[in-house]
Structure 1
Amino acid sequence: MSHSPTVPRTDGFHLPVFPRSLPVVYHPHAAQTEFRSNAWVRRYLESCCTSQTQLMRLLRQRVGLYGPLVAPLTDRDRVLALADFYHFVGLIDDLAADHTGGLGASPGGARAAFDRITAEFGDPGSATTPFGLAAADLWQRMSPDLSSRQQHRFHQSLAAFLDGIAAELPYQLTGTVPDYPAYIDIRLASFGCDFICLLNEYAAAVDVSDLSRSPELRAVHDHAMRQMILVNDVLSLRKEHGDPMNAVRVLEHHDRLPLQQAVDEVAARAAAHEHRYLQARDAARRQLAHRPDVDAYLRAMDHLLAGAQEFEYLTPRYLGDGAVWDGSTTGWVSPVPADPAAANGLPS
């Protein structure tokens, strides 16, 4: 990997350094959680995969570490439920990205499938499909720790996530690139921002439903979720370059920026949102100092942002199947590795 190329290159991009101003913490039971979540995938999601190849690729993505990274202070049962849930939505996202058949073949077919998933999550007794049975297991384990308001928000947020994925499909199937405001609006749904914030409450064992739309927490959420989306857009670019639903592609198309300038601009916007998140977080902590639950929620939000970024560096989901992260957070990223199975760290 070349950290400072001496001549301009056009066969990839140089990954900029992100601020990383928030603490990265691994759950003390991270390894056990990943192992147990992989077993849950084999039990509940194997039949949702189109092949054994897809199943093994999903397991190699190490999604079982996402929960331990974004919720390092929660208890063992909750961190496992989070790991399993993010496996659940991650597979849905993978299936929707395959436009040759199944969920990703047409917006109508995706919406019909998503309606079934939403209904079965809301009524586990009706579950008959593989995704429905997985949803029923998740709901049985998670719902006792959610208030009635949080349960209602959970159903709404899952529906919004699935609607967002369906809303992306027309752009992806036609190659149409939305402008930046339209892109952000869709991604706030398809990225799962509503359930990400709700599950942050679940991880912190608090209920701030009464403040979820307050000016104080709205500012926190606005900048936190945009930071997560834009960091993901850069770190997943190797997998997604050419996908119209990526901020780098949006700026390339609408602002006519070369690839490297578009990457740098998206990274700069992510850094700006991280800075504004910190300001909004501190302001909310001052203004809501009488609410210890808010303080716990904000501490968990710090871990969420830091953990999500750490996961995106280490997962082969974005660097290429078989890649092993060597700890590098900058370097030259080529579009396609010569030998994906032998890739180590950031591909060069």
Structure 2
Amino acid sequence: MKSANESSTNANYDDFAARRSGVSGDDEIQLPEFTSLLPVKLHPDSEELVPASDHWTRTYLRSCARTDAELETLIEAGLARLTCYMLPNAPRGAVQATCDLWQQVVLLDDAMSDRGWLGASIHAAQNAVGRIMTALTGWGSPDAATDAVRDAASRLRPYLPAERWERFAAEYADLLDGFLIEVATRNRDGLEDFEAYMKRRRITVGAKWVIVLAELMSGAELDPCVPSHPQVLQLRDVALDHLWLANDLFSFLKEQVRGEYISAIPLLQRCEGQRPQQAVTWLLDQVADQERKFFDLRRTILSGELAEHAGLSAYLDNVAHIMSGTLHWSWTTSRYHVPGRPDPRGAGWRPKPAPADAVDPPRRKT
């Protein structure tokens, strides 16, 4: 028997879904101009890395896509260029492998999000996840669907010492667990608590594995004790919040068309009665707040007990590039454009990032 609270939650959910079955003027959103304080930098070899990754994607991921057109849509989204923005200071070979792995991750995300594909069944999703982790870790022989993971991971692994590889593999598994959470809860979640949603999104945003790669840098090797320090873990959570907030902001219309209701804007509508444009403004304010928190924490860490550790400043800058790369890419990628709907980013909207060398701005620009 359902509790009164559960019945109320489901009634709210049904009412929300019914209202969202059509598109009204109240559903239209516009992203206002936004000035990010984060540094933006592109990997110097991006002009070679991007086409090489696109070629790899056509070679290795064709068996995972349903059509050639679907694969070309994935490539047109510019995921390899996104990686070059996120990891501008990493060794070229590591970035090339990560470009490839990122394309595989997003294709998998699409499959997990589609109720007619892997998203149709938690059993199918679990089977895929098990095979992918087996391929990533190099145990047994890959199949046609997982050979891409084996290839990319085998090229990335030499750049990661044993301890770092173990953390990378664990965080990649965390990404896959996030996919399973979303498949299992997509149809009837009943989530009404934004704080609980925030905690979940730090997992389902699936970015911890990329943050491990922020430890790859030119020059001094990062001291192994740095990533596990409590203040650095707190900074990592700020970065994760920045990433999922930006993702929920830009992917809203795409997910709306797919009937996705477990996302920040629908949740703010359902729980707090906000209109979509109100929620957009709130999310942008939160993105800006995470940037302020990041720089505050960065100053604290650089002046604290970790200050003398090798590679610290470069590592923190690399985390900033992961945040800024995603935000910068989100304003331009075709992935978030919905055919037949006005693009809320507008024809000329772009972020106005701080200069690439401005890694410690004093305050938010308005």
Q: How far did 1:9 drift?
A: 5.0
Q: State the match for 2:308 in structure 1.
A: 290
Q: How far did 1:171 drift?
A: 2.9
User: Which stretch of structure 1 is more off in the superposition, 247-256 or 73-82?
Assistant: 73-82
Q: State the match for 1:33 in structure 2.
A: 49
In the TM superposition, what are the counterparts of 1:1-348 in structure 2 within 5 Å?
A: 10-101=26-117, 103-124=118-139, 126-174=140-188, 176-202=190-216, 206-241=221-256, 242-287=259-304, 288-320=306-338, 327-329=348-350
- One-letter amino acid matched to 1:187: R
User: Which stretch of structure 1 is more off in the superposition, 195-204 or 51-60?
Assistant: 195-204
- One-letter amino acid matched to 2:97: A
Q: How far did 1:11 drift?
A: 4.2
Deviations 1:70-94 (A, max 9, x none): 1122332222122112111111111
CA contact (8 A) 1:107 1:167 kept: no
User: Which stretch of structure 1 is more off in the superposition, 22-31 or 80-89?
Assistant: 22-31
Deviations 1:158-212 (A, max 9, x none): 1111111110123322364452122222221221232021021135684454232
Q: Percent identity over the alignment?
A: 27
CA contact (8 A) 1:107 1:169 kept: yes
- One-letter amino acid matched to 1:329: R
Structure 1 residues 73 and 223: alpha-carbon distance in aligned structure 2, compared to 1, 3 A threshold: same
CA contact (8 A) 2:27 2:275 kept: no
In structure 2, what is the Cα distance between the partners aligned to 1:39 and 1:115?
Answer: 26
Deviations 1:281-301 (A, max 9, x none): 111122222013111101111
Aligned to 2:55, the other structure's residue is in SS state helix
State the superposition RMSD in angstroms.
2.3
In structure 2, what is the Cα distance between the partners aligned to 1:32 and 1:178?
Answer: 46
Structure 1 residues 112 and 178: alpha-carbon distance in aligned structure 2, compared to 1, 3 A threshold: farther
Instruction: Choose 1 or 2 for highest CA Rg.
Output: 2
Deviations 1:265-293 (A, max 9, x none): 12212211111011011111222220131
CA contact (8 A) 2:211 2:322 kept: no
Aligned to 1:19, the other structure's residue is in SS state coil
In structure 1, what is the Cα distance between the partners aligned to 2:223 and 2:167?
Answer: 11
Structure with higher RCO (Cα < 8 A, 6+ apart)? 2
Structure 1 residues 217 and 115: alpha-carbon distance in aligned structure 2, compared to 1, 3 A threshold: same
Q: How far did 1:213 drift?
A: 2.8
- One-letter amino acid matched to 2:98: L
In structure 2, what is the Cα distance between the partners aligned to 1:248 and 1:193?
Answer: 21
In structure 1, what is the Cα distance between the partners aligned to 2:212 and 2:346?
Answer: 30
What is the TM-score with the length of structure 1 in the denominator?
Answer: 0.85
In structure 1, what is the Cα distance between the partners aligned to 2:200 and 2:228?
Answer: 19
- One-letter amino acid matched to 1:254: C
Deviations 1:26-52 (A, max 9, x none): 222222211000011011111111121
CA contact (8 A) 2:202 2:237 kept: no
Q: State the match for 2:18 in structure 1.
A: none
Higher helix proportion = 1
Deviations 1:217-261 (A, max 9, x none): 022111111011101211221212352232111111111211111
